[in-house]
Structure 1
Amino acid sequence: MTTGFEMLRDTVRAHLPETLPPRLGVAVSGGSDSTALMHLMADIARREGIALFVATVDHGLRDEAADEAKAVATQAQELALPHETLRWQGWDGLGNLQDQARRARYRLLTQWAEALGLGSIVLGHTADDQAETVLMRLARSSGVSGLSGMVHVRSQGNVSLLRPMLSVTRAELRNNLTDIGVKWIEDPSNRDIRFDRIKARKALEQLDPLGITAQTLTDVAENLERAREALAQYAQDSARQIIRVDGGDLTVDRKGFVGLPEEIRRRIIIAAVTWIAGRDYPPRQSTIDRAQQALSAGQTLPIGGCLLVPDREKTWICRELKPVGELVTGVAEAWDDRWIVTGPVRPNVEVRALGESGISQLSDWRDLGKPRKVLLSSPAVWSGETLLAAPLAGLPGEWHVKLSDKRPEFFASILSH
């Protein structure tokens, strides 16, 4: 191996967990960045006795994509690595194509990793990707968290997404691939200026004379990441003082909330909504601003699939009924992707929201001390229109309910937003 390869390998290894899991995944599209990553990770895996698995996502949007996935499979085979192509067939032609494709990619990769028992997937994002991300978020007037760019480690369900090349430029990787005689695939969409990321890439070329390069923007993102971590810690400490977790709901002491700095109030609301509704991304800034005002003033307000419900000196943050009103699952299945109801599995027994119909069948729900609106969105066990159990509303029956193990503890989740 060349000295350049070894230097890059050591840089990548330094940005991975100190102890790697025995089984690890790597996502490879066939482009220069991920191809270089596959070769670097293959060497790391051999040195450390790690079983490495390769996956390529074929979005089905270009005729060449299938052949490109085969090319990756061939390179993986040459490195003695198992490879699998994951195909996306979910786009209906509506909405933001790049955003939907990105979400599908992460979903497919996570499902692949879970099926193989892989706790982590290594991704090939580079300093160039980080710089483009910062520019795009700058255009959206993002704050500290947005301008801190992509994080080195992010959880996607039970799988960790690792980005160990955020300090490495695309030019370095391509030069190294050329040195070791490895070819990569050029995706024509990387030249399509209809996409914001490509516009940002072109803008970087114009900013270079000012010293605004991929590396300098990556350095800025790292500086802001340290600031983001400090703010997240402050938000977590503050939340512990003013918030109580009540099952899957939260109660906020309004006086304590009002006394916090605006940025910390904003972070607490984002963490609460994300934790309860299971959102991948926070609501818009204008929505968060309205939620701050409503919570401070003791007003009811829906936000991001959740509901603010004032109750004397506190405000409940709970699941809104509308998003789960028609949701039906069986017993022992994940309801609303966060509740697990256990108990007898019988024909015609299903899990649905308590709703107005259910609460009308309860005589003593007021004894719980929870507002009516908070209980309406809780999981209940039904047989037709007959309520059999509402474990969170005072009618356990033969069934029990708990939060899914896939959901992190609320206060711990604040550090990831």
Structure 2
Amino acid sequence: MTPAGAVAAALRDVPGPVGVAVSGGGDSMALLAAALEAGVELRVATVDHGLRSESADEAAEVARFCAVRGVPHETLAWRWDRAGNLPARARQGRLDALAAWAVPHRLSAVLLGHTRDDVAETFLMRLSRRAGVDGLSAMTPAFRHDDILFLRPFLDQSRGGLRDFLRDRCFTWIDDPSNDDPSYERTRARQALGALAPLGIDVGILSDVADQMRAAQIALDAGVLGLVERGVRQDGGDLLLAPAVLDAPEELVRRLHAAALRWIGRLPYPPRRAELERFVAAARAGRPATLAGVQLVPGREGLRLSREFAAVRDLSTPTTALWDGRWRLHGPHTPGLSVQALGAEGLTACPDWRETGRPRAALLATPAVWSESGLVAAPLVGYPNGWRADVATFRDEIAAPPPGN
């Protein structure tokens, strides 16, 4: 399929307009050229990470290319705060910036220029970290970030082929010198691919294996969903796991707990495998445990997974905002009110809390409405006072397409 055909196919059911993320490199410039050929209504954004002195000039060059063709363009700034892993933080910051840009322009989707080569390089990088099925799975062609749809129409296109596409149209692109810097893991992975070629291990082979891993991931996720339907009950923001759940195949049990921890703890990624295995071992032994802001408490009904109070002790939002990534409060919103965890002080003001049937430790981390004078409402603990608390549905979240990798 031609690059323009790949873009058109990806957008077949997307009403438009769409955004295109363009750095100025060959892959993203080919994406922009293909979108123009496909006749897509679009806007363009360049994320300037400010990591190289040339980045501002490169963004300006993309802006000039767009101006000549009458395409709206914006440069979005992202700056590293020196915390965490730079490539990971830059990737997250880029998605955050693009999602925030898409909202006011009412974009139906944002296109990214990842290629088959990116899939192969990512496979090698994750293989070096002993990744399992999820880590070795191919990039998803579609995912959501901050409720914005991101599409990758070029996952079946090669980097070399896209550059030929640009040359045929006399379009230029910018080669980022960091792509040749061996201090970056992706550069080393790219070089390793060259060394593996004599063994017949190339981009096509590795991307095919990654696709097979994706198929395995989808099958495993379907197994987890079946396990949820048979043995998991949502109780407010908690999950109750029937004892029979632990009799399922080990990998399904592990994946179920990983999904539960991500949902309750609002984690972007599941915990490390060793930590997760210790948590599952505690569940099998019927022992209390905590991990990533989630507490495991064995009970008569099975295992209860709930939010740990310490993880939300200092979390405060306006009553109109989403609290702890899952909770939405509905009621008489007025200035001066906030949503915070109920805590021991709030629970003391709710003498009927035992009638909820939920353990004290779980109720401490539930959302409540507060004013400077004290507790206003605790809708999950028998003190609604005109307020209602709605929470996301675990089953719907795990049934959704997996996040992009």
TM-score range normalised by the length of the shorter chain: over 0.9
Correspondence 1:3-402 to 2 at 5 A = 7-14=2-9, 16-44=10-38, 46=39, 50-89=40-79, 91-253=80-242, 255-384=243-372, 386-402=374-390
Mean alpha-carbon deviation: is it higher for 299-308 or for 191-200? 299-308
Which stretch shifts more, 268-277 or 30-39?
268-277
> Counterpart of 1:391 in 2: which secondary structure?
coil
Q: Which TM-score applies when normalising by structure 2?
A: 0.95
How far 1:93 sits from its partner (Å)? 1.8
The 1:385/1:199 distance shift into structure 2, 3 A limit, reads farther
* Contact 1:153–1:163 (CA under 8 A) maintained in structure 2: yes
Is residue 396 of structure 2 the alignment partner of residue 412 of structure 1? yes
CA contact (8 A) 1:306 1:317 kept: yes
Gaps of 5+ in 1: 1-5
**1:297: how far off?**
2.0
Alpha-carbon distance between aligned partners in 1 of 2:303 and 2:46, rounded to the nearest angstrom = 46
8 Å CA contact 2:47, 2:78 repeated in 1: yes
Q: List per-residue Cα deviations over 1:176-227 (Å, max 9, x = no partner).
A: 1111100001111111111111111111110111111111111111111111
How far did 1:17 drift? 4.7
Give CA-to-partner distance per residue, 1:293-320, whole Å, 9 cap, x none. 1222222222222221222241111222
Q: 1:8 to 1:331 in 2, by over 3 A?
A: closer
Which secondary structure state, in structure 2, belongs to the residue aligned with residue 53 of structure 1? strand
| Cα drift, residue 28 of structure 1 | 0.7
Match of 2:318, SS state, is coil
1:124 Cα deviation (Å)? 0.4
Shift in Å, 1:10 = 2.0
State the identity as a percent: 43
Cα pair 2:259 2:398 within 8 Å, conserved? yes
Instruction: Report the secondary structure of 2:103's partner residue.
Output: helix
| Aligned equivalents of 1:413, 1:212: Cα separation in 2 | 36
Counterpart residue identity of residue 311, structure 2: P
TM-score by length of 1: 0.92
**How many residues in Structure 1 have an aligned counterpart in Structure 2?**
401
Q: Which one-letter code corresponds to 1:65 in the other structure? A: S
CA contact (8 A) 1:300 1:307 kept: yes
